[in-house]
Structure 1
Amino acid sequence: MRILDRYIASSVISGTLIALAALLPLLGFFLMADEVDQIGEHDYQFVDALIYVTLSMPRYAYEIFPIATLIGAVAGLGALASGSELVAMRAAGISIGRLVLAALKGGMPLVLAAILIGEGLAPYAQQQAQQGRSEALTGQVMQHTDSGFWARDGDTFVNIREILSGSNLRDISIYEIGPRQRLTLASHAEEARYADGQWTLESIVRSHISLSGVQVERIGHARWDSLLNPRLLEVIVIEPEALPVWDLYHYVRFMANTDQDGRRYEVVLWSKLVHPALILTMIFVAIPILLGSTRTKSMGTQIVLAILVGIVLYLLSRTLVYLSLLFDLSPMIAATLPPLFFLAAALWLLRRVG
């Protein structure tokens, strides 16, 4: 029985890998097509666009993993059905429940792979992709570290802890270097806003540093003559979908503690938490699609049906996300309802097939 389980599990895994290999180049083509309009702007060339698309692939692989698993499970198990192997298994007394369990065992390595990609590779690669793209498009260099975003503006170094948008910053530190590479002025502002072509700092504390000592002054607001491009800040901000679960959790807590609206991040957090269960749910859904149409539909029809189910799942998930943000619904419900709906539908179909 273990040999049979491994055989079914390997069919699910191989089918999913083939589906990913087919879907990712297609996504890469469309993503590259979107970047064509940017090529030639400032220092952004074809090679930069190609690097950006390549580094973005892990993120998209993570996002389409459930759909690829559904297609792969239908294709992999469908190949067994085409060779009458599933019929032989059923005739030998293998129950549908046993087939589902064996297929789910194949889903466990896929879940592990998705977690490693989504929590390890994808966030780092996406950050590198966005940083390289933004630097090429604007001609300014900005470094993202654990202490925030760092940029150089002539003889001034700027540290930004929080970027709310390209024109709205919080917790900004500015260090001005004078002759002989000595620090002459250190400023901290609670906020910075960009309007009418200029930056304005709010709640400023300035420390003038000289050989005679340090003089501190406090200013309500002041103009900030900086060449820092708001567009650079807009494109370098990492989207919530590209952040790992741990960073999302801390960001949601931060937004709550500062009385800010963090629902979008909370929805993404719950979506990532249920993502592994969604992959297993798609394998569960694949069984009734396959068994309910083995005798009446071709393999191509079954795969098309799996793709349609995957598209419905994606559209339902996105619709609930927007509804939760629009009508202040629970992010947990918005994230968990689609998998539960498909799981219930799969159980109902399995009972009918059985």
Structure 2
Amino acid sequence: MNRLDRYLARAVILGTGVTLAVLLPLLGFFLLADELNDLGTDGYRFQDALWFVTLSLPRYAYQVFPIATLIGALVGLGQLAAGSELVAMRAAGVSIGRIVLGAMLGGALLAAAAVAVGELVAPPAEQRALTLRQSAQSGEDVAMTSAGLWARDGDTFVNIRELDIGADLRHIYIYEVSGTELISATYAESAAYRDGSWVLKNIQRSLIGRDGVRVERLVETGWSSLLRPALLKVIVVEPQALSVWGLYRYIRFMGRTGQDAGRYEVAFWGKLVQPLLILAMIFVAIPVLLGTARSTGMGIKVFVGIVIGIAFYLVSRSFAFLSLLYGMSPAVAALAPPLIFAGVAFLLLRRVG
């Protein structure tokens, strides 16, 4: 990567950063306004709504990243066009392909950042947001941590290390206290909600008394808990709260149980295609800039970018609905929109060149 490539890549990255800095507060404001309708529902307070919105923003940042990249490329490279720098590059013998390559290098870094947000930041933040809202509205005291889900049920504290698809539980630790004294500690390999109650399996229970500790082992026993499956399903089943690996696991689970996994397959392929989509949006921005650099202002270019972004959203949603309603391959539904827009951009780029 030489100096020219770095210069073009930096323009795209800075433009995208400015665009996200504008879009995310606006999204946060509208999300908060929507959450205000639920204030007062079983103790759901303004600070709870504010935390929910804050924790939801990484997911929305991931979702709007392609459109933000398109607008950011128009803004960043548009500044170069406004200063006649792109014209000077062309006059110095820099080809359109070289300009595209430099912009794409910036797009590759942005795509890596988007994947990091979508896989490492957004899923746990979204899980925490959903848990916070559900627990505040239901009155259940729960918290998601790196050690799994913690919940308090009266004088009992529950730690669930792994939440399987379908809201079944694995590796459950149950601690019962009396005042400040621990009176029992129970480990269960798994738990399932059947006929209105929990059933623990492969249990080892330590009963702590004045005479010492007595250990008992059970194959299966009932568990009376106020912890509701609805809360757990919200955490693990919503597509936006799952990583690519989580979506893959859920799709396999639904396949084994004979359920329709179309919605999750679309989300899975959408996440896989996201880096390609970001690069396609930058590629789309180049002919818009080069074709209008001398005749229109920055405001018109940004407006064109917004229109293209809206058009892309409508096309991608249409393909998603075609996949769900008419059985189109989810992979085709995810790949077709960026390929179509990139193909149109390529034709326009040839005309500009």
What is the TM-score when the length of structure 2 is the normalising length?
0.82
Contact 1:173 1:187 in 2 (8 A): yes
CA drift of 1:216 comes to 7.2
* Number of the residue aligned with 1:258: 257
Per-residue CA shift, 1:292-350, capped at 9, x if unaligned?
22233221111011011111112222222222122222111111111111111111111
* Number of the residue aligned with 1:347: 346
* Number of the residue aligned with 1:29: 29
Partners of 1:324 and 1:301 in 2: how far apart? 35
Partners of 1:66 and 1:17 in 2: how far apart? 12
**For residue 135 of structure 1, what is the amino acid of its counterpart?**
S
Identity %: 51
Contact 2:168 2:190 in 1 (8 A): no
* Number of the residue aligned with 2:112: 112
Per-residue CA shift, 1:59-116, capped at 9, x if unaligned?
1111111111100101111111111111111122211111111111111221121121
* Number of the residue aligned with 2:334: 335
CA drift of 1:55 comes to 1.4
Partners of 1:281 and 1:212 in 2: how far apart? 64
Partners of 2:249 and 2:120 in 1: how far apart? 17
Partners of 2:56 and 2:233 in 1: how far apart? 18
Contact 1:138 1:231 in 2 (8 A): no
Partners of 1:32 and 1:124 in 2: how far apart? 20
1:141 aligns with 2:141: yes
Secondary structure at the counterpart of residue 64 of structure 1: helix
CA drift of 1:279 comes to 0.7
Work out the number of aligned pairs and report it.
345
* Number of the residue aligned with 1:64: 64
Gaps of 5+ in 1: none
* CA 1:71–1:329: 2 relative to 1, 3 Å: same
Per-residue CA shift, 1:180-238, capped at 9, x if unaligned?
965699999986468xxxx367999999999999797989xx9x975445654464445
Partners of 2:46 and 2:155 in 1: how far apart? 32
* CA 1:16–1:178: 2 relative to 1, 3 Å: closer
CA drift of 1:239 comes to 2.0
1:19 aligns with 2:19: yes
Secondary structure at the counterpart of residue 292 of structure 2: coil
The worse-fitting range, judged by mean Cα deviation, of 298-307 and 137-146 is 137-146
**For residue 290 of structure 1, what is the amino acid of its counterpart?**
L
Secondary structure at the counterpart of residue 43 of structure 1: coil
**For residue 5 of structure 2, what is the amino acid of its counterpart?**
D
* Number of the residue aligned with 2:210: none
* Number of the residue aligned with 1:311: 310
Partners of 2:28 and 2:263 in 1: how far apart? 26
* CA 1:24–1:351: 2 relative to 1, 3 Å: same
Contact 2:128 2:144 in 1 (8 A): no
Partners of 1:176 and 1:113 in 2: how far apart? 40
Partners of 1:353 and 1:54 in 2: how far apart? 43
Per-residue CA shift, 1:229-286, capped at 9, x if unaligned?
5654464445212322222222222332333322222221111111111111111000
The worse-fitting range, judged by mean Cα deviation, of 48-57 and 226-235 is 226-235
Partners of 1:94 and 1:335 in 2: how far apart? 34
